[in-house]
Amino acid sequence: MDNNQKYDAAFMTVFEINADQLNDELKYQSITTWDSVGHMALMAELEGIFDIMLEMDDVVDFGSYATGKTTLEKYGVRF
C-alpha cells in the first residue's frame, strides 16, 4: 500500500465507511462516527500507520479528509 491507500484505509477502518464516502465533504463531525471519540481513534490510527506523533494544535486543526494530508505532510509523510 502506498501512503494514499494507507490514509484512506485509516478513515474507512476507524469510521466504518466505504471508499465512495472519502471525498471533500468528509469533515470532522460531518458523520456521526467522526465525533471527538472517533477523532482520537483516527489520530491514533494515523500516528500508528505513519509512525508519527501529532502535536495538540494539529490534532485540533485536523478538520477534514481533504486537509488532513497537509497536516501529515508537516510530519514528513509524502502523498
Partner 1 sequence: MSSPILEDLISLTDHHRLACQPYADYCDTLFSGPEAPGSLAELPFLPVRAFKEFDLRSVSEADVFKVMTSSGTSGARSRIYIDRETAQLQTRVLTTIFGDTFGKARSPMLVIDCESTVKDRMRFSARTAAVNGFSIMSRERCFALDDDMTLNVPRVAEFIEKYKEQKIFIFGFTFLVWQAFCGALAAQNQTLSLENAFLLHGGGWKKLEAEKVSNQDFKDTISRWTGCRNVRNYYGMVEQTGTIFMECPEGRLHASAWSDVLTRDVRTHAALPHGEIGLIEVFSTIQKSYPGHALLTEDVGRTLAAADCACGHPGTIVEVHGRLPAAEVRGCSDAYS
Contacts to partner 1 by CB under 8 A: 27-30, 32, 35-37, 39-40, 44, 53-57, 59-60, 63
How far apart are CB 28 and partner 1 at their closest, in Å? 7
- Whichever of 5 and 36 has its CB closer to partner 1, that residue is 36
28 alpha carbon, distance to own chain's centre: 10
How far apart are CB 5 and partner 1 at their closest, in Å? 25
How far apart are CB 59 and partner 1 at their closest, in Å? 6
Cβ proximity of 49 and 10 under 8 Å: yes
Q: What is the DSSP letter of 78?
A: -
Angle at 54 between CA 5 and CA 26, to 5 degrees: 50
